[in-house]
Amino acid sequence: MDAGSNRSDDGSGPVTKPAAGASVGVSADAPRPALDKRKTIIGAVIGVVSLLVIFLGVIPQIGSYADAAVAIQAMTWSAIALIVVTVLVYNTVYGFPFMAATPGLSYRHSFQLNQGAFAISNGIPAGGAFGLGVQYAMLATFEVTPTAATAAIGATGVWSIFVTLGLPVLGLAAITASGTISAGPYVIIGVVGLVVLLAMVIVFGLIMRSETLAERLGRLGTRLAKPFLRFFKNRSELDLVPVVVKFRRDIVDLVRHRWRSITFTQLAVSLTQFLILFASLRGVEGAGPKTPFLVAFGAWAVAQIGIMIPITPGGLGTVDALLIGLLTAMGVSEGDATAATLVWRAASFVPQIAIGVVALATWYRRAARKFAAAQPTG
């Protein structure tokens, strides 16, 4: 199918539904998920060792598991109910990003897709690549064309990086505004995040501006990458120009028409996850002094830079250690900081993994039926 021949009503991308009466199966163009066993084993070993070092070695130096246990046991039922509500809100909002990035995709399918991808990417060591393949396969069974699927996955991925890099900058501003501690020691995190974010936004904007600029940036990227190619086999002839140009062609219409909704939904996901932490802090602090909103947000937002350290899935452990350290530095007791972080992690991670597993199981049943229906008879 010609990618430019069928457009949705708003012009933002290919129509996702086929012609009436057409038989739809999983597209041959959709990448098939596969795991590199060697890389998976290495990634699993590195991840497990890192988690042990962080949770058994680092966190006890900056927090207190014993005090955390006391604080968690003292939580009231109303505090637990508030955390449950924030978890429900977060998981509801988590269903919107792919709906915003895929014209014609229902909320139900968007929710199923995003939750399933989370379960794979965060529940399987080195599961990011496998999760990407499953996203393509799921979109194919939802009758999304390969071009629209590529655009949606590309846009949500890029915007997720933008938000992850932008949060530490906002966090640094919140810490400064709170006046609890000097932001000096954390300025470098904010500055690095801001510089990288601005560079990415500028490059992305230039690529979207014109195909000529995309080609030039592709050639520049190829030249900059050449000194590092000797470390990789079969990469000596790497040419980024066709890669960058194809990326632009796939995504430009979607970004032009839907960048606002994509941005809003990605920010909503992050901010509703923060609400889980804020409710957790309120719960473990009980009747004692309450952590100000700016302090909690500043610590949480700056700690998100730990997601960019690719040793554990979803920043598990790295974000937690940074968050506990930042909270205690701004006056939260070691017990409350540790307890709130553990509750936040459990509340935002465990239910979502469970929801993702259910989403994958229900999708697999649907996909199996489509595969069976697509097989030629007799």
User: Please, which pLDDT band fits residue 212 given cuts at 50, 70 and 90?
Assistant: confident
Longest dimension (CA), the chain: 75
Phi/psi at 135 (nearest 5 deg)? Answer: -60, -45
Per-residue buried b or exposed e for 303-339, using 16+ beta carbons within 10 Å of the residue's own CB: bbbbbbeebbbbbbbbbbbbbbbbbbbbebbbbbbbb
CB atoms within 10 A of CB 181: 16
CB atoms within 10 A of CB 158: 18
Query: Residue 225 in contact with residue 200, Cβ under 8 Å?
Result: no
State the pTM of this model.
0.78
Q: How far apart (Å, rounded) are the C-alpha atoms in residues 373 and 176?
A: 59
Mean pLDDT score across all residues of the chain: 78
Give 17-42 pLDDT, tens digit per residue: 443 333 333 344 444 444 455 655 55
- Identify the pLDDT of residue 88: 96
User: Please, which pLDDT band fits residue 262 given cuts at 50, 70 and 90?
Assistant: very high
Mean pLDDT is lowest, of 120-134, 163-177, 348-362, for 120-134
Distances (CA, A) of 341 to 116, 216, 274, 332, 334: 24, 45, 11, 12, 11
User: Please, which pLDDT band fits residue 200 given cuts at 50, 70 and 90?
Assistant: confident
- Identify the pLDDT of residue 14: 41
Residue whose tokens read 């949480």: 300
Residue 103 scores a pLDDT above 60: yes
Q: How far apart (Å, rounded) are the C-alpha atoms in residues 364 and 214?
A: 38
Q: Is 375 helix (H, G, I), strand (E, B) or coil?
A: coil
**Mean per-residue pLDDT for 192-216?**
85
Which stretches within the chain are classed as H helix?
Answer: 37-52, 59-62, 65-73, 77-93, 97-101, 107-123, 128-141, 146-178, 187-209, 211-225, 241-285, 293-303, 318-329, 334-374
Compare 61 and 346 and report the one with higher pLDDT. 346
Closest listed residue to residue 170, CA positions, set 189, 155, 156: 189
Structure tokens at 190: 């904010």
**Mean per-residue pLDDT for 327-338?**
88
Q: How far apart (Å, rounded) are the C-alpha atoms in residues 225 and 231?
A: 11
User: Please, which pLDDT band fits residue 272 given cuts at 50, 70 and 90?
Assistant: very high
Give 223-250 pLDDT, tens digit per residue: 877 776 665 655 556 777 888 888 888 8
Q: How far apart (Å, rounded) are the C-alpha atoms in residues 3 and 227?
A: 36
Phi/psi at 157 (nearest 5 deg)? Answer: -65, -45
Structure tokens at 277: 């932490």
Residue 366 scores a pLDDT above 60: yes
- Identify the pLDDT of residue 222: 81
Residue 360 scores a pLDDT above 80: yes
Residue 312 scores a pLDDT above 90: no
Query: Residue 147 in contact with residue 250, Cβ under 8 Å?
Result: yes
The amino acid present at 314, given as its one-letter code, is G
Q: Is 216 helix (H, G, I), strand (E, B) or coil?
A: helix
Residue 236 has, within 13 A of its CA and on its CB side, a CA count of: 3
What DSSP string runs through 10-63?
Answer: TSSS--SS--TT------TTSPPP---HHHHHHHHHHHHHHHHIIIIIIHHHHS
Structure tokens at 19: 């012609």
Residue 174 scores a pLDDT above 90: no
- Identify the pLDDT of residue 186: 64
Q: How far apart (Å, rounded) are the C-alpha atoms in residues 169 and 133?
A: 32
**Mean per-residue pLDDT for 300-329?**
83
Residue 188 scores a pLDDT above 80: no
